[in-house]
Every structure is written in structure tokens, then in C-alpha cells.
Amino acid sequence: MGSAFSLSTNETHPTYTHDPGSKPSIEVRITTSSDVLDLSQQTPFEITVTLLLRHSPSISFDPTCAYLFNGKLLYQDGLTFTNTATGDVLRRNSRDICYMNSSDNNSRDHYVTLKPGQPHQLYASFQPIASSPLFPTKDLSAKEIRRKQEELPKTWKWWNVGGMRNGEEYEIGASETAEVKGVPFVVVERARFKMIRPDEHGELDFP
């Protein structure tokens, strides 16, 4: 199947020519900073989602209502994580986000515009969080609590890794039914990584 755009170049800028016979779509390419997510390390695992509009003309939309743009990349209704051995799609935690209403309902200052042939990138990451053991705080002052927290050993825990098993491989994808203003997302590149975790029963899951 041919590309929606043909590419020619001049000295400085590429030029895209739209094929009016092609169907509009938003190509999704997913890459990661590593092919291993190792919870025994303190290195963030970064995910980059590159979107490319195969459509003409440009489209502008409210990102708070659009798939992948709504702050939920690592949550339910965001990216998908599939165990490549079993085919099981991991259940993701839900996330409720409250957005401030604009004083001007017609304002589009916060809108996102996708332009044909111009990549637009989104980012997400799994990051370690320092966690201290719980301890009784009754009758302790704020200063005493802080001192106690500093004295206790820290454990590095991780957001959004619940359900991922040690030694298993996972593929990152996106919903095949998602769209923006009627233009469907089409995943053309998925990323895979191996999960390494030293805990046996999810002790490193946060919270």
C-alpha cells in the first residue's frame, strides 16, 4: 500500500505532496530508551510516541479530550502493554484528571495542531520513587517525623508496573480503534522490552 505522502527535498526543507486518493490516518511509532526495564536499577525507562499525520489539511483539537494527548499514556485508555508469550493485555490503572475551564469557552490557545508530514512527539516514563517504611507518627513533631524519615532506609519503588512479571517480554502498542476528529491512529511501529524485577510478589510496585 502506498504512502499518503511522497517526499522530495530541497537544500533545507523536505516537501510533502498529498495523495488525494489515500485515506487519512495518524501514524504511531513507539520507541524506548532501552530494551530492558530493570527495577533493580534507578534508571528511568523512557517511552517516545511519534505521531505523523497522513492527512490534508492540518487538524486542530482540544488535547484534554483526545486519545494519547489527555495525560493518560501509562494509564487506562492510554498505551497498551501486551505479554508477547501469552497475548494477555495488561490491565492499566485508571486516572482521573480535572481540567480548569477557560474563562473564554471559544479560546483555542491550548489546542494542539497536527500538520501533514510534521512529526509530533509525546513522552512518558517509568521512574523509580524513593519510599520509606511506615512508622508510628503519634506524638511526633513535624521535625521529628522528617528526621525519622531521613534515618530510615529507602526502597526504590515504581509507578505503573503492576502485573508485569520478571523475565517476561512486553510489547507497547496503542488502541486500534482510537481516532482524533475522525482520523484514525494506525500503529506502524511497536516497541518491545524485557522486564527484570528482583521482587517476587510486587513489593516494588508503588504505591
Tell me what the pLDDT averaged over the chain comes to. 84
Task: Give the tens place of pLDDT for each residue, 43-57.
Answer: 999 999 999 999 878
Model pLDDT, residue 96? 55
Task: Give the tens place of pLDDT for each residue, 149-178.
Answer: 788 777 789 989 999 999 999 999 998 788
Give the number of other Cβ atoms within 10 Å of residue 17's Cβ: 12
**Residue 148 DSSP one-character state:** H
Sign of the CA dihedral running 194, 198, 202, 206: negative
Model pLDDT, residue 7? 32
Which among 103, 46, 94, 80 is positioned nearest to 170, based on CA atoms? 80
Percentage of the chain beyond pLDDT 90 is 54
- Burial class from Cβ neighbours inside 10 Å (0-12, 13-18, 19+) for residue 160 reads buried
Domains of the chain and any CATH numbers: 14-100+107-126+162-206 (2.60.40.2970)
Cell of 160: 505503573
Judge contact between 7 and 14, C-beta under 8 A.
Answer: yes
Model pLDDT, residue 19? 56
pTM score: 0.78
Model pLDDT, residue 150? 80
Judge contact between 174 and 68, C-beta under 8 A.
Answer: yes
